[in-house]
Amino acid sequence: MVLQMKKRGDRVSKTARGRGAKVLVFKGHRERTAGGLKVDMLMKNRRGKVVSKRANASGRRRFVNIEPWVRALMAARECLRISGFVAVNGRTLQGKALYIKTRALYSSESKVCVGIAPSTGAADGGA
């Protein structure tokens, strides 16, 4: 009786592909992503998502340019008591008002609403 050779297992790829590729690399289950990212090039962001360190740094650098506008927009939304989606300078009167208020706050250095007390966020008195 002749013994048969043992079948060799399938070779596992060192490259992670698809939706969870960065997570596989970050956890050490794969060596690199299809784009060539290795463990030392990855990090977790504030939300816990695995992202590229370079992409994260690039986003932070770019956000600095629009941060004053974003702050002015959020202050204007609070002043006009807008919640939910409103297209800034869109077709509605609310959108036009939002744009005008944002522009005014953006131009002036103060991001404080004049004449209206800021809302605390609790509609029912903080209960």
Q: Are residues 41 and 75 in the same domain?
A: no
Domain of 96 in residue numbering reads as: 65-107
3-state helix, strand, coil in the chain (%, to 5): 40, 10, 50
On whether residue 1 sits in a domain, the answer given is: no
Q: Are residues 46 and 73 in the same domain?
A: no
On whether residue 126 sits in a domain, the answer given is: no
On whether residue 4 sits in a domain, the answer given is: no
On whether residue 9 sits in a domain, the answer given is: no
On whether residue 45 sits in a domain, the answer given is: yes
Q: Are residues 103 and 73 in the same domain?
A: yes
pLDDT tens figures, 95-112: 999 999 999 999 996 666
On whether residue 85 sits in a domain, the answer given is: yes
On whether residue 43 sits in a domain, the answer given is: yes
pLDDT of residue 78: 97
Number of domains in the chain: 2
Q: Are residues 69 and 47 in the same domain?
A: no
Helix (H) or strand (E) run with residue 53 in it: helix 53-79
What's the predicted TM-score (pTM) here?
A: 0.67
Across the range 117-125, mean pLDDT stands at 49
Contacts for 73-80: CB closer than 8 Å, 24+ residues apart? 73/98, 73/102, 75/105, 75/111, 75/112, 75/113, 76/101, 76/102, 76/104, 76/105, 76/113, 78/113, 78/118, 78/119, 79/105, 79/113, 79/116
On whether residue 8 sits in a domain, the answer given is: no
- Burial class, 92, CB count within 10 angstroms (exposed 0-12 / middle 13-18 / buried 19+): exposed
CB 111 within 8 A of CB 71: yes
pLDDT tens figures, 63-84: 999 999 999 999 999 999 999 9
